[in-house]
Amino acid sequence: MTIKNGDWQLIRSQITAKNLIRTVEEICSIGPRIMATEGEHKAMEYIEKYFKISGLRTEVTWIEGVVSWKEVYARARVIKPLEYEMTCHAVPGSSSTPEEGIVGEVIYVGRGHESDYVGKNVKDKIVLHDPPYVRRTDNPGFDEVIDRATKKGAKGVIEYSEVRGKGLVQPRNTGRKGVEIPVVCVTYQDGVYLKELINEWYAEPRGWIVTQKIPVEVWIKTKVIKQEGKTGYVEGILEGTDLKDEEIIVVAHHDSPGMGLGANDNASGISVVLNVARAFTSGPRPRRTIRFVTVGGEEYGYVGSEFYAKKLSESKRKVKAVIVLDLVGVGSKHVYCVEGMYGGQVRRTSQWLNNLIVKTAEELGYLLEPTTVDFTSDDGPFIAMGFPTSYIGPRLLPDTVQFHTYLDTPDNLDPNDLKVTADIVSAVLWRLAFMENLNIST
């Protein structure tokens, strides 16, 4: 089916860069959207209202029993054999320290694999680990790294940022249930400095002559608020006509990381979903049902998408394709993900669906290139459940220094990048929704 069709062109004309960035700004005006917090719940209300105003049938599903977390403060300081205050934040899911904080010798454990612990005793120590290698699929999961350190008796964990820049702290997460020890993230510069102190001491050349290995001790103090909460997902449903039992799903996560407003991660994806959804209501009814979905808890380990994908699988619904959008608001290239790590395995997106997306982009005059990511986004759970899935948009380092930092604000996004993604997604949805025969294999 050609995308030169006049009906699709009408839909495309309804989607503008101006409206896309305005939607991002409105979402970010809510503030941080950390899973199971008031910010996330307000975002869900905004999305539900947007779908309803657009004329879509709307459903909201809640997921109970997840951790609601908020940082009050965090500090980390080298105290032996010199004093050095580091820039840090508590990692989402971290626990509080006692009022006086904790003190411990720092043990470096590489990326945190089991093999990195060989010959190292971390009991009652503070573990320092590296960030994941970019675009590599051999990284341990974040929850795996923290869980391993905890089980081996560490009293605290320090991680450091991938991105390089003064004051840029890039905390990840500790998993959907949190952990019982304090975990902090420091800047890239502070992390490298700390590694140098532990290993060789060439970070401190001012008159020091090292004749023996000197233990490095750090003081950490954190205060966080943790309690049980809920997350969920919101669906805007455009029911099909003669093939309404067959479904096409487009997904973006609506929660944000622990730092910043999450403009690119992932108000950008939400904006594309919402604006494309509204535009589709201005055209003819699709043959197949389209579900426009936003899910919570991606930053805490795919909570919403795992729950949703499992429900889809149990319902035996005829899901023909899933398109995941994340980090689509800025970057030097427009890309789609070929593979990434999820659940300890390399997961590969649907070649058939990827080919359709690339072909459609080319017809529109856009170049869409393949990439590998270290960890999947919400595509992981859908792939694991056997659904044909593609993932558009993981433009990470060195393109987006604001990733998981306070710099992830709307003014750092490119409205035209949003428009390109929306054009591609709307055209692909059009094809998937109206094709005569749709036999997608994973």
- Domains (ranges, CATH) in the chain? 6-67+227-434 (3.40.630.10), 70-225 (3.50.30.30)
Is the model's pLDDT at 441 over the cut of 80? no
Is the model's pLDDT at 373 over the cut of 60? yes
Q: What is the pLDDT of residue 285?
A: 93
Cβ density class 311-335: b for 16+ within 10 Å, e for less: ebbeeeeebbbbbbbbbbbbbeebb
Contact by Cβ (8 Å): 401, 168: yes
Band the pLDDT of 404: cuts 50, 70, 90: confident
Distant-in-sequence, close-in-space partners of 355: CB < 8 Å, separation ≥ 6 = none
Averaged pLDDT for residues 420-434: 95
Q: What is the pLDDT of residues 227-267, one digit of tens each?
A: 889 999 999 999 999 999 999 999 999 999 878 899 999 99
Residues in the chain: 442
Distant-in-sequence, close-in-space partners of 315: CB < 8 Å, separation ≥ 6 = none
How far is the C-alpha of 157 from the C-alpha of 5, rounded, in Å?
Answer: 56
Q: What is the pLDDT of residue 142?
A: 85
Averaged pLDDT for residues 129-158: 90
Which residue's entry shows tokens 């990733």?
403
Two tokens at 34? 């950390």
The DSSP result for 365-422, as a single string, is T--EEEEEEEE--THHHHHHTT--EEEE----TTS-TTTTSTT--GGGS-HHHHHHHH
How far is the C-alpha of 161 from the C-alpha of 141, rounded, in Å?
Answer: 15
Contact by Cβ (8 Å): 58, 51: yes
Q: What is the pLDDT of residue 400?
A: 61
Q: Name the β-bridge partners of 317.
A: none
What 3-state DSSP class applies to 247?
strand
Tell me the pairing of strands 389-392 and 345-348.
unpaired
Averaged pLDDT for residues 82-107: 95
Is the model's pLDDT at 363 over the cut of 80? yes
Q: What is the pLDDT of residue 204?
A: 59
How far is the C-alpha of 174 from the C-alpha of 35, rounded, in Å?
Answer: 13
How far is the C-alpha of 157 from the C-alpha of 142, rounded, in Å?
Answer: 12
How far is the C-alpha of 182 from the C-alpha of 167, rounded, in Å?
Answer: 21
Tell me the pairing of strands 288-295 and 243-253.
parallel
Q: What is the pLDDT of residue 399?
A: 55
Averaged pLDDT for residues 341-369: 94
- Identify the CA nearest to 142 among candidates 439, 374, 328, 413: 374
Distant-in-sequence contacts of 95-98, Cβ < 8 A, 24+ apart: 95/178, 95/179, 95/180, 95/181, 95/182, 95/183, 95/222, 95/224, 95/226, 96/182, 96/222, 96/223, 96/224, 97/156, 97/182, 97/220, 97/221, 97/222, 97/223
Over its C-alpha atoms, the chain yields an Rg (Å, rounded) of 23
Contact by Cβ (8 Å): 220, 184: yes
Question: How many CB atoms within 10 Å of residue 123?
Answer: 9
Averaged pLDDT for residues 386-397: 83
How far is the C-alpha of 290 from the C-alpha of 239, rounded, in Å?
Answer: 7
Q: What is the pLDDT of residue 120?
A: 95
Averaged pLDDT for residues 158-175: 86
Crossing angle of helices 268-280 and 38-54, in 10° steps, is 20
